[in-house]
Each structure stands twice: as structure tokens, then as C-alpha cells.
Amino acid sequence: MSMFNAVVAVLLIPAASAAILALISSYRLSSLLNVLASLLTLLFALWLFVQPPEPTDYFLVDDLNIVFIVLNTFVGFTTSVFSATYIAHEIETGRLTPVYLRFYHAMYQAMMFGMNLALVANNIGLMWVAIELATLATILMVGIYRTHQALEAAWKYFILGSVGIAFALFGTILVYVAAQPVVGEGLPGMIWTVLNQRVAEFDPALLNVAFIFLLLGYGTKVGLAPLHAWLPDAHAEGPTPISAVLSGLLLNVALYAVLRFKVLLAANAHAIAPGPLMITLGLVSLIFAAFMLYRRRDIKRMFAYSSIEHMGIIVFAFGMGGPIANFAALLQMTMHSLTKSAIFFAVGHIAQAKGTQQIADIRGLTETHPILGWGLVLGVVAIAGLPPLGIFMSEFLVVSSTFSREPLLAVALAAGLLVAFGALMLRLNSLAFGEPVGSRAPVQASYVPMFAHLALVFGAGLYLPPALVVWFQHVASILG
């Protein structure tokens, strides 16, 4: 079987299942199909890993994006398992009607299609279209409950997301304008592999302005600080599986776009260094989000701010560059995706069990719902960066590599991390160990996805397989 087919499969399976799922009204059948489709996509993504195909004019699978593709399809699959139980509860309580359910599953796969397409695209235009598609799908999902809050969140997401999309497209056009005199008119001026080879001859001034638009545009999607306003609302008001996918995947896809353009710009000696811009945005996001964590009253909103914080760290580390910081950033990104989605799996069931998302009304979880409660404890301990879990290692690497190069920046970074750590521990204490409040009724929950993610994060903290280390080191060297 030729490898090109695996790329097509990674795209075609979600696209076809989106169409099929739109027609199925039985929620048992459609959630089962959703899981199966996600599993198949994951298998084909792994197949890509085994034997990467040759790049074509439209598709490219290389050592950098394969990491993103596998992570994307893996979390997509586990979230679909979680989603099946979550949705069953939503149907029972009547928050979602069968019509909306069809829509929900179709949009889930449409979003997976958009994200996979963005990751395998070898064309800056196609990538833009794909990210836009994934964003539109998530906007619709965020508004699916149709409450006041959900509509406000979706509207805000739509407006800010559109501005981001517009900036990113303008940047994309500028890259083409810069490439056109060198590589000629038409398609070649948008192909990553061509751009990467010839970028040294491009007009640096155009590239500079293009990168600023692209960083702001895709940075809006990453949730970087001045442009983050949509993110907490979208996380808090949409269905929880969508919060998990937003934090775990969509932010990464936008980050991937930024990284690609960063590598492009770094290859042109006369263009500005993209690093300092990313460092600034990352650090601002981290510190801002760390302080905002203290004032949250809504549990999903709190973890959304934690996502902004982590994306800040990751963008900061990629901005620092160099083998160690890039390695740490890749590891942090992987660990954050796994941990944050595990946390949202727990939070989704907790909110269903307690019937609220207000932190004040959720207390003593380890007593009322021990498995969920301890799952949340593990997840928060991991996300706060305590040893021996995976995020501790990556954060340690980020801080120590920064310290050896820019001690002052490292101080700011460490301060941000500590502030965020304090906020998370403070909240965790009341959530997990306070005097029990609210319903004690057991809830139908799927624990497997949550503990599978946590086990991976825990395992990675203790022992990283040498093959993975070598792989990440290799990718880190590509990123420069």
C-alpha cells in the first residue's frame, strides 16, 4: 500500500464520517461510530509514522509534523471515548436534543478533518483554509447549548477568531508576494518545501511584516495574551469534550503554523529574528494567565487560563530556540496536551455529577467521588509541574536552559510558574479535600481515557524511552 494513501486516509476518514454522522440520530450508534472513526484515523496516523510518504504539492509529512499528527489523532481518539459517556449523560438530562447530537458528532469529525488537513498541508494557503475550517467547527460547537453564556462565548470566539484569521491570511499573501519574484507565479510560491529551499533569496522586509501578521493571526488561535479573550469563554461554555480538544489540540495546530513560519523566517539571514517576538508574547501570556488563575470561580474557566499559561511557556521556549529549549518545548507541548485533556475529562464528569461548574459549589471531591477526585488531583499536580511528572521535567529544562542564557528572563519565567502553581494548589485543596458540598450521586463516567493520559504523563516523568528522546532531539534540531 502506497504511503500517499495513508495521508488520504487520515483526511478522508474524518471527512466521510462527518457526513455519515450527520445522518445518524441514535446516540449509541453515532458515538460508537465516532470512536471507531477516530481510532481508524489514529491507526493510519501511526502508519504514517512507520513509513512517511514523499511530499507532494499539497501534502507533506516530515519529522516535524508527524509528532503533531500522532498527538492530534491520539487525543482525538481518547476524547471521542470520553465524549461517548459524556454525551449519554447530556442526552439523559436533556441538555442536548438528538438533532443537536447529530450536529455535534458531525462537527467533531469535521474539526478533526480540519486539524489533520492543517497538519499535513504542504501549502500555506491550504493550511490557512484548514485552520479556518477547524475554527468554524469549534465555534459552532461552543454555541451548541444555546444558553446566554454559550452564545456570548461563541460570538466572542467568532469575532476574535475572524480577526485572527484575517491577519493570518494577509500574512500568507505577503509571504506569497515575497516568494513570487524568486520562485515564479502560481502554486510553487505557496508550497512549504519550495519556500523552505528558496527563502534565503526572498525580500526580508516583506517577510518581516508577513511574520508579524502571521504571529498575531495564528497567535490569536494559540491564545497568546493580548489576544486570548475568546479562550476562557469558549472553554467554559462549550461541551467539555470540546474544551479538551480545544486545549489539547487546536491550540497546538495553530502553534504548529507559527512554528513553520518561524523556521521559514529563521532561514533568511536578513529577516528579523522571530525568537524575541515569541519570547515576549509567551512571557506576557504566562505571567498574565498566572495571576488571572487566582480570580476564577468557574472550574473550566480556570483550566482554560492554565492552558494560556502553558501555551505561553511553550511559545517562550520555542522562541528561545536551541536544541534544549526546543526539546523542552516539544515535550511540554505533548505533556500539556495529554494532561490538560485528562483534566477536562475529569472536570466534565465532575460538573455533571455536581450539576455546576462553580468552584465554590464543588468541594471534597475525593470523598464524594473518589475516583474522579483523585484523577483530578493527579492531573492538577501534573499540570502544576510537580515532580516526578512529565511537565516538571519539561518546565525544569525550559527554566534551566533559559537561566544559562538569559538569567533575567529565567527569573520572570520562574516567578510566573510559581504564581500559577500557588493558584492551582489553592483551588485544588478546596476542590478535592474541602468539606464535601453538593451531590454525592454516582455518575456514569469513563475513567479509561483519563487514567491512560495520566499514566503516560506519569511514565514520561519517570522514564522517557530513548527512541522518543532521539526523535524529539532530531525535531528540535530542525526547529533551530
- Interacting span for other proteins (CB under 8 A) from 28-36, 153-161, 251-259, 435-443: 153-161
- Give the other-Cβ count within 10 Å of 115's Cβ: 30
Minimum CB–partner distance for residue 292 and other proteins (Å): 11
Is position 132 an interface residue for other proteins (rule: CB under 8 A)?
A: yes
- Give the other-Cβ count within 10 Å of 472's Cβ: 20
- Interacting span for other proteins (CB under 8 A) from 279-287, 293-301, 385-393, 405-413: 293-301
Is position 229 an interface residue for other proteins (rule: CB under 8 A)?
A: no
Minimum CB–partner distance for residue 24 and other proteins (Å): 22
Cα–Cα distance between 475 and 222 in angstroms, integer?
Answer: 20
The dihedral sign for the CA sequence 428, 431, 435, 440: negative
Is position 181 an interface residue for other proteins (rule: CB under 8 A)?
A: yes
Minimum CB–partner distance for residue 408 and other proteins (Å): 31
Is position 123 an interface residue for other proteins (rule: CB under 8 A)?
A: yes
Cα–Cα distance between 313 and 300 in angstroms, integer?
Answer: 20
* Residue type at position 189: G
Nearer to other proteins (CB atom), residue 98 or residue 184: 184
Nearer to other proteins (CB atom), residue 130 or residue 283: 130
Q: What is the DSSP letter of 25?
A: -
Is position 297 an interface residue for other proteins (rule: CB under 8 A)?
A: yes
Which one among 59, 104, 158, 458 touches other proteins, defined by CB under 8 A?
158
Nearer to other proteins (CB atom), residue 196 or residue 473: 196
| Distance from chain centroid for Cα 228 | 14
Judge contact between 271 and 204, C-beta under 8 A: yes
Which one among 19, 29, 159, 441 touches other proteins, defined by CB under 8 A?
159
Minimum CB–partner distance for residue 478 and other proteins (Å): 26
Helix (H, G, I), strand (E, B) or coil at 59: strand
Judge contact between 332 and 354, C-beta under 8 A: no
Which one among 17, 71, 83, 237 touches other proteins, defined by CB under 8 A?
237
Residue 341's alpha-carbon distances to 71, 215, 288, 350, in angstroms, are: 12, 25, 22, 14
Is position 177 an interface residue for other proteins (rule: CB under 8 A)?
A: yes
Nearer to other proteins (CB atom), residue 55 or residue 323: 55
Q: Which DSSP string corresponds to 325-375?
A: HHHHHHHHHHHHHHHHHHHHHHHHHHHHHHT--BGGG-B-HHHHSHHHHHH
Is position 43 an interface residue for other proteins (rule: CB under 8 A)?
A: no
Q: Which DSSP string corresponds to 380-423?
A: HHHHHT-TTSHHHHHHHHHHHHHHHH-HHHHHHHHHHHHHHHHH
Is position 412 an interface residue for other proteins (rule: CB under 8 A)?
A: no
The dihedral sign for the CA sequence 475, 476, 479, 480: negative
- x/- map, 352-391, other proteins, by CB under 8 A: ------x-x-------------------------------
Is position 97 an interface residue for other proteins (rule: CB under 8 A)?
A: no
Grid cell of 32 as nine digits: 460508537
Residue 251's alpha-carbon distances to 44, 115, 220, in angstroms, are: 22, 10, 9
Cα–Cα distance between 177 and 10 in angstroms, integer?
Answer: 31
Within 187-226, the residues that bind other proteins by CB under 8 A are 187, 189-190, 203, 205-206, 208-209
Per CB under 8 A, residues contacting other proteins are: 123, 125-126, 128-129, 132, 136, 139-140, 143, 146, 148-149, 151-155, 158-159, 162-163, 166, 169-170, 172-174, 176-177, 180-181, 184-187, 189-190, 203, 205-206, 208-209, 233, 236-237, 297-298, 301, 358, 360
